[in-house]
A and B are shown apart, each in its own frame.
Chain A
């Protein structure tokens, strides 16, 4: 009988408090009935052997307890899509906030290098994301508890409002939108910080190149607006594609103009004393032309997509 009591205690331990007494009482009664039946079928078995056989048949205590009281997931299945979407949005926004904070730190402090800025950003992001994850999970857990197991089937949806998604590429990934937003915000900070900030530690641009960069700022603002539009409507339409194509074409033009602006730097930075001014300018031109390839590739991609729509 010791084995039976141990089994019941193990099952009890896995059950919610309010069910412990009642379930184990009933389970014990059922097991005793099974033991009686087994005694009739196999009279030669000892008590211990019969108990062992019946318990083996019932399965491990944890499994048995979960059959009586199935474990409920922290986030209910019905809320899972919304939970994942909320997490993705919040993580994206936190990334942007962290990017802005770290960029301001980098631009405003001579002692903070690029690596330190990235470390600050990664550390801050992990801290904020962990907090956000915990808070959102707890929030959804509370909502799930409030709703219970009530089925919330939507009956008022209109099929006519379904998005016009005919091709797989029309879906826009959240990560792509937030990457674009982060790029635009970072560039805007880089360009405008010297105007509003205390000092300029990392960038020593000529007045001419700085003026050009500032003149291109509306393009970056346009990019932010376009990303906001994409956040609202998560698939490519003809209008959105045309806007994106136009924006990227303008960005290519702006970067190419910038590449041929000379001189770009007002002098060789202290950190790169082995470079001549000519080599520095050539490196900048090549780098900018390589950067221009990215929006250039998007122009070609969007053009081809527009042809296929």
Chain B
């Protein structure tokens, strides 16, 4: 397998998981950089060029609420899970746990 193929498959594998990670992190309000920091501290490294547009897409889909706030002499846009987003997160978490428990034994073989 070439490195390009591996990169492509890693990207596909991570795509769905990143949505779950972002939704989960936004139970509390965050702005772009603080969200990235939180994910990074949790061991999920995601570059800014992917994260910021992803957050906006989720907001456009109504899964996140957002508002501009002033702080530290600068304006920042804060995002937080909306009601719809919270419902979706619950369902996605269940789905993830089912998949994870099914995959575990498969990957051990």
For chain A, the count of residues having a C-beta within 8 Å of the partner chain is: 17
Known: A33-B32, A37-B33, A57-B47. A26 touches B52 (CB 8 A): yes
A68 to B31 alpha-carbon distance, docked (Å):
16
Known: A26-B56, A32-B74, A68-B56. A63 touches B32 (CB 8 A): no
Q: Which residues of B contact A32 (CB under 8 A)?
A: 74
Is A64 a contact of B32 with CB atoms below 8 Å?
no
* B77 shortest CB reach to chain A, Å: 5
* Tally of contact residues, B, Cβ under 8 A: 16
Q: A26-B32, A57-B48, A58-B48 are in contact. Are A33 and B53 (CB under 8 A)?
A: no
B27 at the interface (CB under 8 A from A): no
Asked if residues B31 and A33 are in contact (CB atoms below 8 Å), the reply is: yes
| CB-CB nearest in chain B for A35 | B33
Minimum CB–CB distance for B38 against chain A, Å: 13
Q: Given the complex of chains A and B, what is the CA–CA distance between A37 and B74 in angstroms?
A: 14
B53 with A68: CB separation less than 8 A: yes
B-to-A contact residues, CB < 8 Å: 31-34, 37, 47-50, 52-53, 56, 74-77
17 contacts between A and B (CB under 8 A): A26-B52, A26-B56, A29-B74, A29-B76, A29-B77, A30-B31, A30-B33, A33-B31, A33-B33, A33-B76, A34-B48, A37-B33, A57-B49, A64-B53, A67-B50, A67-B53, A68-B53
Binding site for B on A (CB under 8 A): 23, 25-27, 29-30, 32-34, 37, 57-59, 63-64, 67-68
